[in-house]
Homo-oligomer: A and B are copies of this chain.
Amino acid sequence: MVDRIEDLYAVIPAGGVGSRLWPLSRADAPKFLHDLTGSGHSLLRDTWDRLEPLTGPDRIAVVTGRAHRAAVEEQLPGVPDRNVFLESEPRDSAAAIGLAAAILHRREPDVIIGSFAADHVIRVLPVFHWAVQQAVTIAREGLICTIGITPTEPSVGFGYIKKSAMLSIDGAPEGALVERFVEKPDLDTAKQYLESRDYLWNAGMFISRADVLLAEIEANNPELHAGLIELAEAWDDRDRRGPVVDRVWPKLPKIAIDYVVAEPAAEKGRLAVVPGHFDWDDVGDFASLAKLNSHGRKNDLAILGENARILSDAASGIVVSHTQRVISLIGVKDIVVVDTPDALLVTTSEHAQRVKGVVDALKLTGRGDVL
C-alpha cells in the first residue's frame, strides 16, 4: 500500500476522441471510455484506479464534455459530483487543466494538482506512484514538474523531454530540470536519444501547485487566465455557474497546455522532470493497440471484444469486434480489422497512422454519421 499524499488533488482531463482509433473511438464513445487492454475496465477507470491510492476518492477531479457526463459517472461511481467539471464545448488542454487548477485553488489555496490523461495505459503501479511522490515533493518547492517516461526503444511516435541538471531535492532523488521539449524525431535521432539517456518520452503529465500553474498561465496568456479566474469564482455557486460558463467558456483561447505552461516554464528553468520507469503507452493508433494486446508476441492475433467470434488461419495483428458477426481472417499479416455496427476498417499496422485521414475524409464527404 502506498501512502496518501494529503495535499495532492488529481485531475483527469477526459477529452480527446482518439481519431486514429476510429471506428472504435467516436465522438460519442471516445477512447477513454473503451477497454483497450482487456483489463475489463475502461482506460478512464484504470486511470482512476491508479490515482485513488494516492489521493483517495474525494480528491480526484475529472474534466470532460457535457455529453460524456453520464458515461463518466457510470465508470467512476466514487467521484463526487462537485469534482466533475463539465465543458460546454472543447477548448483544448490549457483551458481544461487551467479550469481545474482555478477551481481547486479557490477551494484550497495550497493545493497541489497532478494532471494525468484519461486515455493512457500505465503498468507497474508502485513505480508510477514513486514517480508521482517525487514530483509532488518537487512541486512543493514551487517548480512545475512533469513525469517523463524512460524510453525502452527508439520511438518515433512520441515527443521527448531533454533533461538538464539534477535538482537534489530531498525525497526526489531523480528530479532534474528540463532543458527543452523536442518534437517526434526521426529514427536515427530517436536512436541517439535512447543511447544518451538524457531524453524521456513526454507523457503530458504535470504536477504543480495550483497557484504556480495559474501564475504561469497568467504570464503567458492573460486572457485565458482572466477567463479561468472568472469561471472559478462562480463555479461553486449553483446560481451563478451556468450563466458565467455560457458567457466565458466558449471564448477561452483554444491552446494546448504545452504552449501556455510547459514550454515557457522550461525556458525559464522552472520546469522539472522525474523519470518514470514504468510501462506506458498513449495507445495512439491501432499499431500501438496491437502491440499492447499481443504482449510482444510477433505472430499473434490480438482480439478485442467481449463476444468476438473469430476464425483465423495464418493471421496476425489485431481484430476489434464490436458486433456479433463471425469474422474470418485468412493469411493476413499485421492486419488491423475494426468491426463496428456501422463502420468497418481494414488496414495494417504500418498504415495505422493514416486512419486520421479517413476520419477527415468522412467529415468532408458528409458521412459524419459514423464518426
A131 to chain B, nearest CB (A): 37
Interface residue A313 (Cβ < 8 Å from any Cβ of B) = yes
* A339 and B328 within 8 A (CB): no
A215 to chain B, nearest CB (A): 45
Known: A343-B326, A350-B331. A313 touches B358 (CB 8 A): yes
* A346 and B350 within 8 A (CB): no
Digit string of A340-367 for contact with B (CB within 8 Å is 1, else 0)?
0111111110110011011001100101
* A328 and B343 within 8 A (CB): yes
* A357 and B313 within 8 A (CB): yes
* A332 and B346 within 8 A (CB): yes
Digit string of A286-310 for contact with B (CB within 8 Å is 1, else 0)?
0000000000000000000000010
| Interface hub of A314, A344, A355, A365 (most chain B Cβ within 10 A) | A344
Interface residue A70 (Cβ < 8 Å from any Cβ of B) = no
Interface residue A370 (Cβ < 8 Å from any Cβ of B) = yes
* B331 and A345 within 8 A (CB): no
**Of B330, B345, B357, which contacts A347 at CB under 8 A?**
B330
**Of B328, B341, B358, which contacts A346 at CB under 8 A?**
B328
Cα separation A182 to B367 with both chains bound (whole Å)? 53
* A325 and B342 within 8 A (CB): yes
Interface residue A335 (Cβ < 8 Å from any Cβ of B) = yes
* A326 and B351 within 8 A (CB): no
- What are 14 of the A-B contact pairs (CB < 8 Å)? A23-B328, A309-B367, A325-B370, A326-B342, A326-B343, A326-B370, A328-B344, A329-B347, A330-B348, A330-B358, A331-B350, A332-B347, A337-B346, A346-B346
Chain A residues with CB under 8 Å of chain B are 23, 309, 311, 313-314, 324-332, 335, 337, 339, 341-348, 350-351, 354-355, 357-358, 361-362, 365, 367, 370
Given contacts A314-B351, A330-B355, 4 further A-B contacts (CB under 8 A): A325-B342, A330-B346, A331-B350, A337-B346
Q: Give the top 3 A-B pairs by smallest Cβ distance, nearest first.
A: A331-B351, A330-B347, A326-B343
